[in-house]
Structure 1
Amino acid sequence: MASYDLIVIGGGPAGYVAAIRAARYGKKVALIEREKLGGTCLNWGCIPTKAMHRTAYLFSQLQQLAHFGIQVGQIELDFQRVMARKSEVAAALGKGIQQLMQANKIEVYHGTAELIGNREVLINGLVLQASYILIATGSKAAEISLPGASLPNVLNSNSILELSRLPASIAIIGGGVIGIEFASIFAAFGTKVAVIEMSERILPEMDEEISKRLAGMLKRKGIDLYTSAKVGAIRGASPLMVDFVVRVEPKTVSATHVLLATGRSPEFGGLNLDEQGIRYDTKRGIAVDACMQTSSEAIYAAGDVTGGIMLAHVASHEALVAVDHMFGECERLPYEAVPACIFSLPEIAMVGLTEQAAKERGIDIAVSKFPFAANGKALVMGEPEGLVKMIARKQDHVIIGVHMIGSHATDLIQEGVLAIKMGLTSEQLAATIHPHPTMIEVLHEAALGIHGQMIHYATGSK
């Protein structure tokens, strides 16, 4: 029987980060992964889709070169090369994780783990023992009970990454993050795209104004958006037909492919949680406390498997919290300062409270908006679409929300994250010198606008 200080089940953003953290404490660590190191994020999520997003962005930009005074010949998309490149990027990063495991002397087992005790794991017929166990088995594409969901060319967020030919048309069921990212990517590639969303608007968790602005932009790109829509069935073959009802009006969209983008659910099948007395819910995931400890003292869980905020960066930080509690001190993760990034075209990013959420909590707020069109760098880049929206408490001007849509929003949001994490006021942010000409100046102007002092835009806060 091999003994360890920590056994990590799952090699994704929570699992491999936890393993490295424990190794840095000088602990003996084993990591068990059923498929590929890097988990969903690296192999079927964040990295492959962002590689495709980068191609989509460049392809869109190249079609605008005449605007910059550059004349080129016909630009064509090599879809097979696009898909090969996303796999190459993922493989390179996967190899990097393998090297990190070796460098930190972490023993990696490949196979399906089974808990056989509070401190014991069965893997490939071997029994491993540890002082602590961390469950980081992630999530899977949510199953949907829908007639026709198993028809050929009906895809989920994993299988769409295995396409070898560019779809002529695609109907996307689900207007959340996954659906909107793929809608943006394939529309840029020239695919005819329709998005069917059950809620009243796409991206229902985002700030309403930002969501509606993106909807207008996507429609101008030729994407058909159907909201308040309930899908009844998928039928046919070539093309597929998606039947749905918008309020009371029946509609049908035809497409060569259908993507089921209805979210993800925690994955912890086969672990024998019941026998170990670990509390969980099949939909909400494994129950944990603020230090990621389960109802079993020696067993922790982190990442998507806990059913919380299903983002890779959240999973990694939860893993750090868990390991620090095992071998040091627990520091609560600041969930109020978690950024969310959507790689649509253009990008969206947010942190903190939306305007609607702040009002629902009864917070008296000041809201400042600054358009990218008034930013010099945005105009230089030829990307003036977008805005930043900053929300602060009126009583003390402490920043409680930042929402952005536009070029590089996913990079720019970090200043907002830091502001909320540190409890900064709009005056403090406005008093910080921002370099010129840069995109980050939009946040400087928004901070000035909280107290009616914008320089490059006539409208202040409300």
Structure 2
Amino acid sequence: MFNYDLAVIGSGPGGRGAAIQGAKLGKKVAVIEQQSLLGGVSVNTGTIPSKALRQAILYLTGHFQRGIYGGNSQLKQQITISDLNVHTQKIVEERVITLENQYKRNNVDIHFGKASFIGPHQLKIDHGLSSQSISASTIIIATGSRPARSKTVPINQVNILDSDGILELTKIPDSLVVVGGGIIGMEYASFFSTLGTKVTVLDLQDNILPFLDTEMSIALQHHLERNGVVFHLGEMVTKVTQRSGRIKTLSDKNNVVYSEALLYAIGRVGM
């Protein structure tokens, strides 16, 4: 006899969808989440906060009003990380509350802790100071993904960051190197250039967002260049060092870029 018909490890979009659908089909369902908040990367460090950040930046910089009022349409002259976090955190908190209510309405049990298998149908949930075991007829692993890393880039989540850590910046940097010309890299390159940060993008590909039609990729690159972004395409980062708070990025074409912060965003890999 099992405790649950279905146990889902992970509360991100995949885990949530599986858990809610199982509950709607009349199954007894449990969700195990390792982090302290529901929603996974999508809600807490990925999709939702990045889109909320985008809206906060567009609002505070008066970006949409520039065509009418010119370049002096900012709502606040000195925009800080705190200003951005107020907007972003509110959206994230509202989304987490929505998820909590959805699980409650569908009678899904939530267990916070790290899950590990102790049998084909048994899980141990480590809560830190205590642990428990549960069993389920079916167990779904929906643990999502994490940012890809490289031995040549010493991520410290202070000034050399990946896409999960970029939202933890304590100040808007005066200069930023973005390694990676994909979706995440271009998203944050556009964010920080709009805030006035000097952004430099390095990528091994010859075009940004290479899955797009070439014409679209080139058009976006030109738009970002008009906003001050500098591109070094077809180049691989070979070494990243820092001294006295300044980061030195070296490429295989011997180009050197100095910056206050670096975002390493070459994609994500499975957990």
Q: By the TM > 0.5 criterion, same fold?
A: yes
Q: Which residue of 1 aligns with 2:211?
A: 205
Please state how far the C-alpha of 1:117 moved relative to its aligned partner: 2.3
Q: Which residue of 2 aligns with 1:131?
A: 137
Q: Which residue of 1 aligns with 2:251?
A: 244
Query: Structure 1 residues 152 and 96 mapped into 2: Cα distance closer, same or farther (>3 Å)?
Result: closer
Q: Which residue of 1 aligns with 2:28?
A: 28
Query: Structure 1 residues 74 and 55 mapped into 2: Cα distance closer, same or farther (>3 Å)?
Result: closer
Query: Structure 1 residues 81 and 234 mapped into 2: Cα distance closer, same or farther (>3 Å)?
Result: same
Please state how far the C-alpha of 1:211 moved relative to its aligned partner: 0.9
Please identify the structure whose Cα radius of gyration is greater.
1
How many residues end up aligned between the 2 structures? 262
Residue 202 of structure 2 is aligned to residue 173 of structure 1: no
Q: Which residue of 2 aligns with 1:376?
A: none
Query: Alignment partner of 1:54: what SS?
Result: helix
The percentage of counterpart residues that share the same residue type is 32
Query: Alignment partner of 1:14: what SS?
Result: helix
Amino acid at match of 2:83: R
Residue 117 of structure 2 is aligned to residue 115 of structure 1: yes
Could you state the TM-score of these two structures normalised by the residue count of structure 1?
A: 0.54
Please state how far the C-alpha of 1:119 moved relative to its aligned partner: 1.8
Please state which structure has a larger fraction of its residues in strand: 2
Residue 150 of structure 2 is aligned to residue 144 of structure 1: yes
Aligned equivalents of 1:108 and 1:252: distance in 2?
Answer: 49
Query: Structure 1 residues 227 and 73 mapped into 2: Cα distance closer, same or farther (>3 Å)?
Result: closer
Residue 266 of structure 2 is aligned to residue 265 of structure 1: no
Please state how far the C-alpha of 1:105 moved relative to its aligned partner: 0.6
Whether the aligned pair in 2 keeps the contact of 1:148 and 1:233 (CA below 8 Å) is no
Query: Alignment partner of 1:250: what SS?
Result: coil
Aligned equivalents of 2:137 and 2:234: distance in 1?
Answer: 50
Whether the aligned pair in 1 keeps the contact of 2:57 and 2:84 (CA below 8 Å) is no
Matches within 5 A, 1:79-118: 79-118=81-120
Query: Alignment partner of 2:114: what SS?
Result: coil
Aligned equivalents of 2:90 and 2:46: distance in 1?
Answer: 14
Q: Which residue of 2 aligns with 1:349?
A: none
Deviation string, structure 1 residues 289-329 (Cα, Å, up to 9, x no partner): xxxxxxxxxxxxxxxxxxxxxxxxxxxxxxxxxxxxxxxxx
Aligned equivalents of 2:143 and 2:75: distance in 1?
Answer: 46
Say which of 158, 162, 180 aligns to 1:156: 162
Aligned equivalents of 1:159 and 1:122: distance in 2?
Answer: 29
Matches within 5 A, 1:61-460: 61-66=64-69, 75-76=76-77, 77-124=79-126, 125-146=131-152, 148-150=154-156, 152-237=158-243, 238-245=245-252, 249-267=253-271
Aligned equivalents of 1:232 and 1:200: distance in 2?
Answer: 17
Whether the aligned pair in 1 keeps the contact of 2:7 and 2:32 (CA below 8 Å) is yes
Of stretches 36-45 and 145-154 in structure 1, the one that deviates more from structure 2 is 145-154
Query: Structure 1 residues 131 and 152 mapped into 2: Cα distance closer, same or farther (>3 Å)?
Result: closer
Q: Which residue of 2 aligns with 1:46?
A: 47
Amino acid at match of 1:241: K
Whether the aligned pair in 1 keeps the contact of 2:20 and 2:106 (CA below 8 Å) is yes
Whether the aligned pair in 2 keeps the contact of 1:2 and 1:127 (CA below 8 Å) is no
Query: Structure 1 residues 197 and 9 mapped into 2: Cα distance closer, same or farther (>3 Å)?
Result: same
Aligned equivalents of 1:71 and 1:243: distance in 2?
Answer: 37
